[in-house]
Chain A
């Protein structure tokens, strides 16, 4: 399947190119105002700042593809982060490999709970994850007793886990790149990945060929949960602080990044490339605002406006391309 050669793929690519152009223009505009913004070190720091959002959005992508939504990712992140931080506090000798495995496992279990309730219990994803968003957040308070895990309570390797340098890049970036590659392969080259698209696009037709919507939903939630768990460890390590309201409200940023990246909220359509661009776009906007020195009273409005402009521009270009395509179809 050489997607790049089909006209549809050309459009998808073009849609992503639109976003890429918007990103380049944005960076250039900020660079004129604050030239330091263009330094490679700054760009790397923005990338570093975007990785967690990117990873969570990849999980979100899997769920949205099945026509669901996972609003519990940020709470899952906070819970898993708190859990592994507390483990590290109590038993500092446990190697990081074990904690990484544990974080993925804990996150995946929380995701599996969503998955079971949605696929077997038939609870609508938005309701279910709205509920677990609070439940998982409440569980953070329960295990922590309201207290934080602070930098001095973490082992040296725990605190340094997200930022040690490999070949000039921080480990956080490497983990992000690896996760992105894995999700890309999963969605494009595996049977399960293809089934997510099929189920989200037309669950009835998929069911008629024996592709189970329930299983696909379950897998998507487990994936989203596992990624959220891993990012929990990364977040807590990066900021060297496990708090009760870690990443509060972050779930909406993942949805925003997905939508900016052209993921259809109706399911069945969306790419890893789009998500990468969407997350990078959001990351740049957030960092640009701090560099340009916009009044804090304007920041939120500007951030929202820029996001809207990106989405609208993206949609308009997309629609034009669709129109061009259907014109071509008639003439064919």
Chain B
């Protein structure tokens, strides 16, 4: 295994902030290198230096042992380094071949585009990675996972020796993740170096050979994955052990708060029935695409339903009427913060009170001082970090945006909270804050549904866990008999279906 890229004591300072402070790292061919650290630890800055978007303030970069400088993305591509981004940057209306060769088209001897060769080359690359996709498929017809694969092929088509994957599994299903692992292993065998960035430890242990941990822009440690445990890595990352992430509490379960009967939307979720009680945290686990988010949207009334009913305190909720749901004390923190949660161009105050404009208005005029005091109270409660409450939400970090979304919903003074992936993509500290906050709410008697794809979060937080698979509720567990293996097994459909719910 040859060293391809070596970083030595690389620093990157922005005015007033040390984004990277003396990081060293060696990327070798045929090796999967995990880059670990919580949000803001400096991972993306490191990637930007590797891909020529940022110039390091000091330090050396060696490529094949020779000093190199990546002034532009072009320089680093020439050195064989390519990053595959979280949101694939592709042209949906073009074919796979056209996408792969965009920017470096092959030409024939007449100077015209040589589609025949390009198509053959695409086919060859697909075969090399054992992918069964026709090169003339339009990218818009591909699944997210397939698009990732095409991105990888694209990297290979320009002879990438180092492929950087930033959270490549974020929006993939379990099966697709397995396929991605296969692909990564294939690449490794063929001698490609892979830098693998992930928040999920299971993945790191599954595919990575070596790791580098960053914390607050500083290099914390590296080594071989086989020599460490999850606990070791967590300690390196945050200095916090896993069990400390979840609050201890003694639940006192009360009356039925929400009752769902036979809720169905054809092809999305079928015949779902369950009850949620006051003071209870009900976890919903399942794979991506199991229909959990869609079910929650339908319960709340922002997605239609074909059959079934939702009852709150004896009152049936109308389909597609979120206002009525809100009036009945429901609150819904959606899974996609940027798309469904916040309004980026509006201020923190405006976002917070948008859900309760009626309450803070008099004769249709929102009262500024009421809005401000409501927002101030909630911001304090969540220890929101913002320069001022008039700040645009777009200027906040992901974790703080999520706090604004939570504030917005608490402003409606709900009794039932539906939290759909409330900690996705936010840093460890905020995550812990959210967890302890959710625990407090349940202790105060709120009824809470927690939808999460993070198994440990569901296990650590919930009083009861319902598992969905392919649109149906397939199992229910009380927290004491729920184990990671059993819950995961039912979600995948690997084990016999257990009764419950």
Which residues on A are within 8 Å of B, measured CB to CB? 1-3, 5-9, 189-192, 194-195, 197-198, 201-202, 204-211, 268-269, 325, 327, 329-332
Instruction: Report whether A197 and B355 are in contact in the complex, using a CB–CB cutoff of 8 Å.
Output: no
Known: A201-B345, A208-B332, A209-B322. A330 touches B390 (CB 8 A): no
Residue with the highest number of chain B CB atoms closer than 10 Å, among A5, A195, A206, A208: A208
Contact B392 A8 (CB under 8 A): yes
Question: Judging by beta carbons under 8 Å apart, are A191 and B350 in contact?
Answer: no
Q: List 16 A-B contacts (CB under 8 A).
A: A5-B388, A7-B387, A7-B391, A8-B347, A190-B364, A190-B365, A190-B366, A191-B366, A198-B350, A202-B342, A206-B343, A209-B322, A209-B355, A209-B408, A330-B16, A332-B387
Distance between Cα atoms of A197 and B350 in the complex (Å):
10
Listed from nearest, the 8 A-B pairs whose CB atoms lie closest are A6-B390, A331-B16, A209-B355, A210-B322, A210-B323, A191-B357, A8-B392, A331-B15
A2 surroundings in chain B (CB, below 8 A): 390
Q: Which residues of A contact B395 (CB under 8 A)?
A: 8, 325, 329
Chain A's closest residue to B324 (CB) is A210
- Residue in A closest to B301 when the chains form the complex, CB atoms: A210
- Our pick among B326, B343, B392 for the contact of A205 (Cβ within 8 Å) is B343
Give the size of the chain B interface in residues (CB under 8 angstroms): 42
B339 CB–A CB distance under 8 Å: yes
Decide: A330 near B326, CB < 8 A? Known: A7-B391, A202-B344: no
Beyond A201-B344, A202-B344, A330-B14, whether A207 also contacts B322 by CB under 8 A is yes
Task: Specify the chain B residue showing the minimal Cβ separation from A195.
Answer: B357
Which residues from B are CB-within-8-Å of A206? 343, 354
Bound complex: CA A185 to CA B298 (Å): 36
Q: Using an 8 Å CB-CB cutoff, how does the interface string of B2-36 with A read, 1 for contact, 0 for none? A: 00000000000011110100000000000000000
B371 within 8 Å of A by Cβ?
A: yes
Interface of chain B: mostly helix, strand, loop or mixed: mixed
Q: Determine how close the nearest CB of chain B comes to the CB of A198; give it in whole angstroms.
A: 5
Give which listed residue, B326, B342, B347, B358, contacts A1 with CB less than 8 A. Answer: B347
Task: List chain B positions with a Cβ less than 8 A from chain A.
Answer: 14-17, 19, 300, 302, 322-323, 325-326, 332, 334, 339-347, 349-350, 354-355, 357-358, 361, 364-366, 368, 371-372, 387-388, 390-392, 395, 408
Assembled-state Cα–Cα distance A174/B334 (Å): 47
Q: How far is the CA of A190 from the CA of B343 in the complex (A)?
A: 18
Min CB gap A13→B, angstroms: 13
Chain A residues with CB below 8 A from B354, complex form = 194, 198, 206, 209, 211
A205 with B342, Cβ < 8 A, contacts A7-B387, A7-B391, A194-B357 known: yes
Complex interface: chain B residues within 8 A of A209 (CB): 322, 326, 354-355, 408
Partner of A201, one of B16, B346, B366: B346
Minimum C-beta distance from A256 to chain B (A): 23
CA distance A211 to B334 in the complex (A): 15
Known contacts A198-B346, A330-B15; decide if A191 and B390 are in contact (CB<8 Å): no
Tell me the smallest distance from the CB of B201 to a CB of chain A, in Å: 29
| Least CB distance, B320 to chain A, in whole angstroms | 10
Do residues A189 and B339 form an inter-chain contact, with CB atoms below 8 A?
no
Most chain A beta-carbon neighbours within 10 Å: one of B326, B347, B395 = B395
By a CB distance below 8 angstroms, the chain A residues around B340 are: 204-205, 208
CA distance A325 to B391 in the complex (A): 11
Task: Return A231 CB to nearest CB of chain B, in Å.
Answer: 25
Q: Residue on B with the closest CB to A269?
A: B345
The closest CB in chain A to the CB of B325 belongs to A210
A329 to B387, CA, bound (A): 10
In the complex, which residue of chain B has the Cβ closest to the Cβ of A212? B323
Complex formed: what's the CA distance from A198 to B349 in Å?
13
How many angstroms between the C-alpha atoms of A8 and B302 in the bound complex?
Answer: 32
Which residue of B323, B342, B346, B364 contacts A191 across the interface (Cβ within 8 Å)? B364
Are A330 and B17 CB-contacts (below 8 A) given A189-B365, A208-B340, A209-B408? yes
Shortest Cβ distance from A189 into B: residue: B365
Instruction: Tell me the bound Cα distance from A194 to B345 in angstroms.
Output: 12
The distance from the CB of A7 to the nearest CB of chain B, in whole angstroms, is 7
Known A210-B323, A331-B16; judge A8-B391 contact (CB<8 A). yes
A62 to chain B, nearest CB (A): 16
A3 proximity list for chain B (CB < 8 A): 390
User: Shortest beta-carbon distance, A329 to chain B, in Å?
Assistant: 6
From A9, A190, A210, residue with most partner B Cβ within 10 Å: A210
B326 to chain A, nearest CB (A): 5
Partner of A194, one of B19, B350, B408: B350
7 A-B pairs besides A197-B350, A209-B355 with CB distance below 8 A are A189-B365, A197-B346, A198-B350, A202-B339, A204-B339, A327-B14, A331-B14
Q: Which residues of A contact B392 (CB under 8 A)?
A: 6, 8
The answer to whether A194 and B366 touch (CB under 8 A), given A5-B388, A202-B344, A208-B341, is yes
Q: Which residues of B contact A190 (CB under 8 A)?
A: 361, 364-366
Give Cα distance in the complex from A325 to B395, angstroms: 9
Q: CA of A192 to CA of B361 in the docked complex: distance in angstroms?
A: 11
Give Cα A3 to B345, complex, Å: 13
Interface contact A1-B364, CB-CB below 8 Å: no
Identify the interface centre among A191, A194, A269: most chain B CB within 10 Å of its CB.
A191
Report the separation of the CA atoms of residues A7 and B364 in the bound assembly, to the nearest whole angstrom.
Answer: 28
CA distance A207 to B366 in the complex (A): 19
In contact, B17 and A331 (Cβ under 8 angstroms): yes
Q: What is the chain B residue whose CB lies nearest that of A199?
A: B343
- Could you tell me the distance between the alpha carbons of A204 and B339 in the complex, rounded to whole angstroms? 7
In the complex, the answer to whether A191 meets B358 with C-beta atoms within 8 Å is yes
A1 to B15 Cα, complex, angstroms: 30
Contact in complex: B347, A6 (CB < 8 Å): yes
B341, B354, B388 pick with most chain A CB within 10 angstroms: B354
- Complex Cα spacing A197 to B346, Å: 8
Q: A5 to B390, alpha carbons, bound, how many Å? A: 8
Known: A190-B364, A191-B361, A210-B322. A6 touches B345 (CB 8 A): no
| A327 lies within 8 A of B366 (CB) | no
Residue of A nearest to B375 (CB): A1
The interface residues of chain A lying within 8 Å CB-to-CB of B408 are 209
Q: Please, how many angstroms separate the alpha-carbon atoms of A149 and B108 in the complex?
A: 69
User: Measured between C-beta atoms, what is the minimum distance from A31 to chain B in Å?
Assistant: 38
A194 to B355, CA, bound (A): 12
B302 touches A208 (CB 8 A): yes
User: Are B372 and A6 within 8 A (Cβ)?
Assistant: no
Using Cβ atoms and an 8 Å threshold, which residues of chain B touch A197? 343, 345-346, 350
For B347, what are the chain A residues with a Cβ–Cβ distance below 8 Å? Answer: 1, 6, 8
